[in-house]
Amino acid sequence: MDRGKISRLMTAADRVTLSGHVINKVGTLQLAIAARHFGLPYVAMVQRPDRFAPTPDYVAMEERDGRESLSCLGVPTASPLVRGWYPAFDVTPPTLVAAVATSEGIFGPLALREQFGAGECGPSETTRN
């Protein structure tokens, strides 16, 4: 990015909410921040936004065992006093998303609810985070 040899950052997305939030593997948020820093648009690619997820609050976020982040190949890499935290996904806000590319076209993140929210059904309380 710093050499000016790319014109945009594109990633796949595990899910995109109707509010335009991109939910993807940890590291996507940092990439979107870097793209913004270098003046590059960030485009998320997904088949279609999740009509059952109006916002990230409706998406259960996987967290792995934090102890996994405290060792490498079975060798401890941190003090025994340290607790690990190992989220599997992060959430990129729509303010960092230039566009969402779907099978039905390319849309701004704030246009997703209007385009894909028809017949929107909220999830049951059991699936809500």
Q: Catalytic amino acids?
A: 14
For residue 40, give both structure tokens.
Answer: 């590059």
User: How far is it, in rounded angstroms, from Cα 118 to Cα 51?
Assistant: 8
Question: Which amino acid, 108?
Answer: G
Taking phi over 0 as left and psi of -120 to 50 as alpha, with beta for the rest, 53 belongs to beta
Closest Cα partner for 12 from 31, 34, 38? 31
